[in-house]
Amino acid sequence: MEDNAKLIESLLEKAAEYGKTSFELAKLKVIDKITDLVSSLVPQSVVFALIMVFILFFSLGLAFWLGEIIGKTYYGFFIVAGFYGIAGVIAHFFMHKKLKKITGNYFIKQVLK
């Protein structure tokens, strides 16, 4: 009877160790996925920020240049803003689903990597 008790006690200890090890492994896998996702997002965010700064200054230059050609500076800004407004409407109605799908697939791919 004592052997059975020791055997059951040993089995329970091993099961507890297995549970702790499995939990630690799952935790490490989650940390790995999160660090992989963040490490891929940081460089992309930097590139995105640089592109946005370029677009901002290009738009300002274009608006001032168009305003100078037309004769009133604010007309140049209206033209550039109108272009971005039209581009935004087109992107929303014709590309929204495609952009959402591409973004979703990218994040899923990064998490499942």
Burial (0-12, 13-18, 19+ Cβ within 10 Å), 100:
exposed
pLDDT in the model for residue 83: 95
Q: What's the whole-model pTM score?
A: 0.61
The distance between the two most distant Cα atoms of the chain, rounded to a whole number of Å, is 102
* Residue-level length of the chain: 113
pLDDT tens sequence across 83-97: 999 999 998 888 888
d(CA 46, CA 80): 25
Arithmetic mean of pLDDT, 3-31: 86
Count of the separate structural domains present in the chain:
1
Q: Is the dihedral of CA 14, 16, 17, 19 positive or negative?
A: positive
Which residues span the domain enclosing 70?
Answer: 2-112
Q: How many CA atoms lie within 13 A of 71 on its CB side?
A: 0
The confidence score (pLDDT) of residue 85 equals: 94
Phi and psi, residue 2, nearest 5°: -65, -35
pLDDT attached to residue 110 = 74
Residue range 38-84, pLDDT digits in tens: 787 888 889 999 999 999 999 999 999 999 999 999 999 999 999 99
Residue 1 has pLDDT above 70, yes or no: no
